[in-house]
Protein backbone atom coordinates (compact mmCIF):
# COMPACT_ATOMS: atom_id res chain seq x y z
CA UNK A 1 0.00 0.00 0.00
CA UNK A 2 1.23 3.48 -0.85
CA UNK A 3 0.46 5.97 1.93
CA UNK A 4 -1.58 9.02 0.98
CA UNK A 5 -1.14 12.46 2.49
CA UNK A 6 -4.02 12.97 4.91
CA UNK A 7 -6.30 11.02 7.21
CA UNK A 8 -9.41 12.51 8.79
CA UNK A 9 -9.58 12.17 12.59
CA UNK A 10 -12.52 13.37 14.73
CA UNK A 11 -13.24 16.29 12.44
CA UNK A 12 -9.72 17.32 11.41
CA UNK A 13 -7.31 16.30 8.68
CA UNK A 14 -4.00 15.02 10.05
CA UNK A 15 -0.88 13.60 8.42
CA UNK A 16 -0.91 9.92 7.47
CA UNK A 17 1.85 9.14 9.98
CA UNK A 18 0.11 10.97 12.81
CA UNK A 19 -2.96 8.71 12.71
CA UNK A 20 -2.10 6.69 15.84
CA UNK A 21 -3.81 5.20 18.88
CA UNK A 22 -2.49 4.13 22.30
CA UNK A 23 -1.77 0.42 22.67
CA UNK A 24 -4.15 0.27 25.66
CA UNK A 25 -7.06 1.60 23.61
CA UNK A 26 -10.13 -0.56 24.26
CA UNK A 27 -10.17 -1.72 20.64
CA UNK A 28 -6.77 -3.40 20.85
CA UNK A 29 -7.71 -5.84 23.62
CA UNK A 30 -11.39 -6.24 22.87
CA UNK A 31 -11.86 -5.73 19.13
CA UNK A 32 -14.30 -2.87 19.66
CA UNK A 33 -14.28 -1.24 16.25
CA UNK A 34 -16.74 -0.91 13.42
CA UNK A 35 -15.63 0.02 9.94
CA UNK A 36 -16.50 0.37 6.28
CA UNK A 37 -14.91 -0.06 2.91
CA UNK A 38 -15.95 1.99 -0.11
CA UNK A 39 -14.59 2.42 -3.58
CA UNK A 40 -14.15 5.67 -5.38
CA UNK A 41 -14.14 5.10 -9.15
CA UNK A 42 -12.62 7.16 -11.91
CA UNK A 43 -15.42 8.21 -14.22
CA UNK A 44 -15.37 10.51 -17.23
CA UNK A 45 -16.86 13.21 -15.01
CA UNK A 46 -14.11 12.81 -12.41
CA UNK A 47 -13.83 10.60 -9.33
CA UNK A 48 -17.07 9.39 -7.75
CA UNK A 49 -17.68 7.42 -4.55
CA UNK A 50 -19.98 4.44 -4.98
CA UNK A 51 -22.97 4.30 -2.61
CA UNK A 52 -21.49 6.67 -0.07
CA UNK A 53 -24.77 7.16 1.79
CA UNK A 54 -25.49 3.44 2.18
CA UNK A 55 -21.96 2.67 3.43
CA UNK A 56 -22.03 5.56 5.88
CA UNK A 57 -25.43 4.49 7.10
CA UNK A 58 -24.19 0.94 7.67
CA UNK A 59 -21.24 2.38 9.59
CA UNK A 60 -23.59 4.25 11.92
CA UNK A 61 -25.86 1.18 12.19
CA UNK A 62 -22.85 -0.91 13.23
CA UNK A 63 -21.92 1.66 15.89
CA UNK A 64 -25.52 1.73 17.13
CA UNK A 65 -25.69 -2.07 17.48
CA UNK A 66 -22.56 -1.89 19.66
CA UNK A 67 -23.73 1.17 21.63
CA UNK A 68 -20.75 3.22 20.41
CA UNK A 69 -21.63 6.91 20.66
CA UNK A 70 -20.94 8.91 17.50
CA UNK A 71 -21.02 12.69 17.55
CA UNK A 72 -21.01 13.19 13.80
CA UNK A 73 -24.08 13.00 11.57
CA UNK A 74 -24.48 10.90 8.46
CA UNK A 75 -24.16 14.04 6.31
CA UNK A 76 -21.00 15.20 8.10
CA UNK A 77 -19.32 11.83 7.67
CA UNK A 78 -20.34 11.69 4.01
CA UNK A 79 -18.94 15.15 3.36
CA UNK A 80 -15.71 14.31 5.23
CA UNK A 81 -15.13 11.30 2.96
CA UNK A 82 -15.62 13.40 -0.16
CA UNK A 83 -13.15 15.99 1.20
CA UNK A 84 -10.69 13.24 2.11
CA UNK A 85 -10.55 11.84 -1.42
CA UNK A 86 -10.33 15.34 -2.86
CA UNK A 87 -7.54 16.41 -0.52
CA UNK A 88 -5.47 13.32 -1.29
CA UNK A 89 -5.87 13.97 -5.00
CA UNK A 90 -6.69 10.39 -5.97
CA UNK A 91 -8.64 9.52 -9.12
CA UNK A 92 -9.74 6.17 -7.80
CA UNK A 93 -9.24 4.64 -4.38
CA UNK A 94 -10.58 2.59 -1.51
CA UNK A 95 -11.99 4.51 1.47
CA UNK A 96 -11.78 3.03 4.97
CA UNK A 97 -13.81 4.69 7.74
CA UNK A 98 -13.09 3.27 11.21
CA UNK A 99 -14.91 3.99 14.46
CA UNK A 100 -13.24 2.59 17.57
CA UNK A 101 -13.34 2.70 21.34
CA UNK A 102 -10.22 4.47 22.45
CA UNK A 103 -7.91 4.96 25.39
CA UNK A 104 -9.27 5.52 28.89
CA UNK A 105 -10.90 2.93 31.12
CA UNK A 106 -9.55 -0.62 31.29
CA UNK A 107 -11.70 -3.75 31.38
CA UNK A 108 -14.34 -5.07 29.03
CA UNK A 109 -17.08 -2.64 30.05
CA UNK A 110 -16.35 0.42 27.94
CA UNK A 111 -16.49 3.30 30.40
CA UNK A 112 -14.47 6.45 29.76
CA UNK A 113 -13.28 5.15 26.40
CA UNK A 114 -13.68 8.00 23.94
CA UNK A 115 -14.92 7.24 20.44
CA UNK A 116 -12.25 7.81 17.83
CA UNK A 117 -13.22 8.16 14.18
CA UNK A 118 -10.70 7.87 11.38
CA UNK A 119 -11.27 8.10 7.63
CA UNK A 120 -8.43 6.96 5.40
CA UNK A 121 -8.05 6.22 1.71
CA UNK A 122 -5.51 4.63 -0.58
CA UNK A 123 -5.22 3.13 -4.03
CA UNK A 124 -6.32 -0.50 -4.06
CA UNK A 125 -6.25 -2.80 -7.09
CA UNK A 126 -8.15 -6.01 -7.73
CA UNK A 127 -8.89 -7.88 -4.50
CA UNK A 128 -8.72 -11.49 -5.65
CA UNK A 129 -5.99 -11.01 -8.26
CA UNK A 130 -5.86 -9.29 -11.65
CA UNK A 131 -7.10 -12.34 -13.53
CA UNK A 132 -10.01 -13.01 -11.19
CA UNK A 133 -12.65 -10.80 -12.81
CA UNK A 134 -12.39 -12.55 -16.17
CA UNK A 135 -11.15 -16.03 -15.33
CA UNK A 136 -12.78 -16.63 -11.95
CA UNK A 137 -11.27 -17.95 -8.73
CA UNK A 138 -10.77 -21.38 -7.17
CA UNK A 139 -12.32 -21.57 -3.73
CA UNK A 140 -13.14 -24.07 -0.98
CA UNK A 141 -15.80 -24.57 1.67
CA UNK A 142 -14.21 -23.57 4.94
CA UNK A 143 -14.01 -25.87 7.91
CA UNK A 144 -14.83 -22.75 9.95
CA UNK A 145 -18.47 -21.68 10.21
CA UNK A 146 -19.64 -18.10 9.96
CA UNK A 147 -20.45 -16.40 13.28
CA UNK A 148 -23.67 -17.85 14.71
CA UNK A 149 -26.71 -15.72 15.60
CA UNK A 150 -26.55 -14.49 19.19
CA UNK A 151 -22.76 -14.60 19.18
CA UNK A 152 -21.56 -11.66 17.11
CA UNK A 153 -24.16 -9.73 15.12
CA UNK A 154 -23.54 -10.29 11.41
CA UNK A 155 -25.38 -7.13 10.35
CA UNK A 156 -22.69 -5.06 12.05
CA UNK A 157 -19.42 -4.67 10.17
CA UNK A 158 -17.30 -4.97 13.30
CA UNK A 159 -13.56 -5.50 13.50
CA UNK A 160 -14.10 -8.52 15.75
CA UNK A 161 -16.06 -10.34 13.01
CA UNK A 162 -12.90 -10.37 10.96
CA UNK A 163 -11.17 -12.75 13.37
CA UNK A 164 -13.65 -15.28 11.94
CA UNK A 165 -12.93 -14.00 8.42
CA UNK A 166 -9.19 -14.36 9.00
CA UNK A 167 -9.56 -18.03 9.99
CA UNK A 168 -11.56 -18.66 6.82
CA UNK A 169 -9.21 -16.73 4.54
CA UNK A 170 -5.98 -18.14 6.03
CA UNK A 171 -7.18 -21.73 5.84
CA UNK A 172 -8.13 -21.21 2.19
CA UNK A 173 -4.81 -19.53 1.41
CA UNK A 174 -2.69 -22.22 3.06
CA UNK A 175 -4.56 -24.88 1.12
CA UNK A 176 -4.01 -23.12 -2.20
CA UNK A 177 -7.41 -21.47 -2.69
CA UNK A 178 -8.16 -17.81 -3.42
CA UNK A 179 -10.99 -17.68 -0.88
CA UNK A 180 -13.12 -19.76 1.48
CA UNK A 181 -16.90 -19.96 1.64
CA UNK A 182 -18.30 -20.28 5.15
CA UNK A 183 -21.44 -22.17 6.05
CA UNK A 184 -23.63 -20.73 8.79
CA UNK A 185 -24.11 -22.52 12.12
CA UNK A 186 -26.90 -24.59 10.50
CA UNK A 187 -24.64 -25.76 7.69
CA UNK A 188 -26.23 -23.57 5.02
CA UNK A 189 -24.24 -21.35 2.66
CA UNK A 190 -23.42 -18.04 4.26
CA UNK A 191 -20.68 -15.98 2.54
CA UNK A 192 -16.99 -15.64 1.76
CA UNK A 193 -14.55 -14.17 4.28
CA UNK A 194 -15.04 -10.78 2.64
CA UNK A 195 -17.74 -11.26 -0.01
CA UNK A 196 -21.40 -12.16 -0.40
CA UNK A 197 -22.19 -15.07 -2.68
CA UNK A 198 -24.64 -15.72 -5.52
CA UNK A 199 -25.50 -19.09 -7.08
CA UNK A 200 -27.08 -19.48 -10.54
CA UNK A 201 -28.91 -22.56 -11.76
CA UNK A 202 -31.14 -22.76 -14.84
CA UNK A 203 -30.98 -18.99 -15.22
CA UNK A 204 -32.33 -18.35 -11.71
CA UNK A 205 -30.12 -16.46 -9.26
CA UNK A 206 -30.05 -17.34 -5.57
CA UNK A 207 -28.38 -15.55 -2.67
CA UNK A 208 -28.54 -16.32 1.06
CA UNK A 209 -30.90 -14.12 3.12
CA UNK A 210 -29.69 -11.85 5.93
CA UNK A 211 -30.72 -14.58 8.39
CA UNK A 212 -27.88 -16.79 7.10
CA UNK A 213 -25.26 -14.77 9.05
CA UNK A 214 -24.25 -12.60 6.09
CA UNK A 215 -23.15 -9.00 6.03
CA UNK A 216 -25.86 -6.91 4.35
CA UNK A 217 -23.54 -6.20 1.45
CA UNK A 218 -23.98 -3.03 -0.50
CA UNK A 219 -22.60 -4.63 -3.65
CA UNK A 220 -25.04 -7.48 -2.96
CA UNK A 221 -27.89 -4.99 -2.88
CA UNK A 222 -26.60 -3.32 -6.05
CA UNK A 223 -26.42 -6.62 -7.91
CA UNK A 224 -29.93 -7.60 -6.73
CA UNK A 225 -31.20 -4.28 -8.11
CA UNK A 226 -29.30 -4.63 -11.40
CA UNK A 227 -30.47 -8.23 -11.86
CA UNK A 228 -34.10 -7.17 -11.45
CA UNK A 229 -33.50 -4.30 -13.91
CA UNK A 230 -32.20 -6.81 -16.43
CA UNK A 231 -35.31 -8.94 -15.92
CA UNK A 232 -33.36 -11.79 -14.32
CA UNK A 233 -35.07 -14.01 -11.78
CA UNK A 234 -33.52 -13.63 -8.32
CA UNK A 235 -34.45 -15.04 -4.92
CA UNK A 236 -33.04 -14.57 -1.44
CA UNK A 237 -33.27 -18.01 0.05
CA UNK A 238 -31.52 -20.47 2.35
CA UNK A 239 -29.12 -22.46 0.16
CA UNK A 240 -27.74 -25.92 0.94
CA UNK A 241 -24.00 -26.50 0.48
CA UNK A 242 -24.36 -29.04 -2.32
CA UNK A 243 -26.17 -26.48 -4.48
CA UNK A 244 -22.71 -24.99 -5.06
CA UNK A 245 -21.44 -28.20 -6.65
CA UNK A 246 -24.30 -28.44 -9.15
CA UNK A 247 -24.59 -24.73 -9.92
CA UNK A 248 -24.18 -23.39 -13.45
CA UNK A 249 -22.51 -20.24 -12.12
CA UNK A 250 -21.31 -18.91 -8.78
CA UNK A 251 -19.99 -15.41 -8.12
CA UNK A 252 -18.89 -13.22 -5.24
CA UNK A 253 -19.80 -9.60 -4.64
CA UNK A 254 -18.09 -7.04 -2.43
CA UNK A 255 -16.63 -3.58 -2.51
CA UNK A 256 -13.12 -4.95 -2.76
CA UNK A 257 -13.99 -8.06 -4.84
CA UNK A 258 -16.58 -6.20 -6.99
CA UNK A 259 -18.26 -8.99 -9.04
CA UNK A 260 -15.88 -11.95 -9.18
CA UNK A 261 -16.76 -15.30 -10.81
CA UNK A 262 -15.98 -18.55 -8.98
CA UNK A 263 -14.69 -21.26 -11.31
CA UNK A 264 -14.26 -24.16 -8.91
CA UNK A 265 -15.30 -25.12 -5.40
CA UNK A 266 -13.43 -27.86 -3.52
CA UNK A 267 -11.79 -28.66 -6.89
CA UNK A 268 -15.21 -29.35 -8.45
CA UNK A 269 -15.69 -27.24 -11.57
CA UNK A 270 -18.56 -24.76 -11.46
CA UNK A 271 -20.56 -25.18 -14.69
CA UNK A 272 -18.10 -25.04 -17.56
CA UNK A 273 -15.28 -23.82 -15.30
CA UNK A 274 -15.30 -20.30 -16.67
CA UNK A 275 -17.28 -17.09 -16.21
CA UNK A 276 -20.92 -17.78 -17.10
CA UNK A 277 -23.34 -15.59 -19.08
CA UNK A 278 -25.38 -14.35 -16.09
CA UNK A 279 -22.23 -13.37 -14.18
CA UNK A 280 -20.87 -11.59 -17.25
CA UNK A 281 -24.12 -9.66 -17.78
CA UNK A 282 -24.16 -8.49 -14.18
CA UNK A 283 -20.45 -7.64 -14.21
CA UNK A 284 -20.97 -5.52 -17.33
CA UNK A 285 -23.96 -3.72 -15.81
CA UNK A 286 -22.04 -3.16 -12.56
CA UNK A 287 -18.88 -1.76 -14.15
CA UNK A 288 -20.84 0.36 -16.65
CA UNK A 289 -22.58 1.99 -13.71
CA UNK A 290 -19.61 2.48 -11.36
CA UNK A 291 -17.39 3.76 -14.14
CA UNK A 292 -20.04 6.26 -15.19
CA UNK A 293 -20.67 4.68 -18.62
CA UNK A 294 -24.31 3.86 -17.86
CA UNK A 295 -26.86 6.31 -16.48
CA UNK A 296 -26.72 6.55 -12.69
CA UNK A 297 -30.47 6.06 -12.37
CA UNK A 298 -30.38 5.26 -8.65
CA UNK A 299 -28.06 8.12 -7.66
CA UNK A 300 -25.38 5.71 -6.46
CA UNK A 301 -22.41 7.88 -7.42
CA UNK A 302 -21.30 10.86 -5.35
CA UNK A 303 -18.96 13.08 -7.35
CA UNK A 304 -15.76 14.22 -5.61
CA UNK A 305 -15.61 17.92 -6.32
Residues with active-site annotation = 157
- Three-state SS for 60? helix
Distance in angstroms (rounded) separating the CA atoms of residues 113 and 230: 48
User: What residues contact 107, with CB distance under 8 A and at least 6 apart?
Assistant: none
Do β-strands 204-207 and 196-201 pair in parallel, antiparallel, or remain unpaired? antiparallel
Q: Distances from the Cα of 20 to the Cαs of 8, 188, 230, in angstroms? A: 12, 40, 46
Q: Which residue is nearest to ligand PPE (CB)?
A: 37
Least distance in angstroms from the C-beta of 202 to ligand PPE: 26
Contact 181, 192 (CB under 8 A): yes
Least distance in angstroms from the C-beta of 69 to ligand PPE: 24
CB closer to ligand PPE, 88 vs 190: 190
CB closer to ligand PPE, 166 vs 272: 166
Compute the half-sphere exposure of residue 75: CA atoms within 13 Å on the CB side of its CA. Answer: 0
CB closer to ligand PPE, 26 vs 146: 146
Within 66-213, where are the H helices? 74-88, 132-135, 161-174
Least distance in angstroms from the C-beta of 33 to ligand PPE: 12
Distance in angstroms (rounded) separating the CA atoms of residues 277 and 131: 17
| Paired residues of 200 in beta bridges | 205, 249
Q: What are the percentages of helix, strand and coil residues in the chain, rounded to 5? A: 30, 30, 40
Residues in contact with ligand PPE by CB under 6 A are 37, 165, 191, 194-196, 215, 217-220, 253-257
Phi, psi of 111 (to 5 degrees): -115, 140
| Paired residues of 47 in beta bridges | 42
CB closer to ligand PPE, 113 vs 198: 198
Least distance in angstroms from the C-beta of 130 to ligand PPE: 16
Distance in angstroms (rounded) separating the CA atoms of residues 12 and 291: 30
- Cα–chain center distance at 279: 18
User: What residues contact 231, with CB distance under 8 A and at least 6 apart?
Assistant: none
Least distance in angstroms from the C-beta of 170 to ligand PPE: 12
Least distance in angstroms from the C-beta of 196 to ligand PPE: 5
Amino acid sequence: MTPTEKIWHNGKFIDWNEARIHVLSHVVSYGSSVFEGLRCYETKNGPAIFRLREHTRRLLDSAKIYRIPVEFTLEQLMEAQVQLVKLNGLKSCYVRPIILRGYGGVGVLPVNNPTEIFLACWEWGKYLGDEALAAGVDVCISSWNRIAPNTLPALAKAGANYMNSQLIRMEAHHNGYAEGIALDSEGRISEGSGENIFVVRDGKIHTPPLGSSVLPGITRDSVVTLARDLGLELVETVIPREMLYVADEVFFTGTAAEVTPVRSIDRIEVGTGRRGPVTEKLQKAFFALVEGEAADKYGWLTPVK
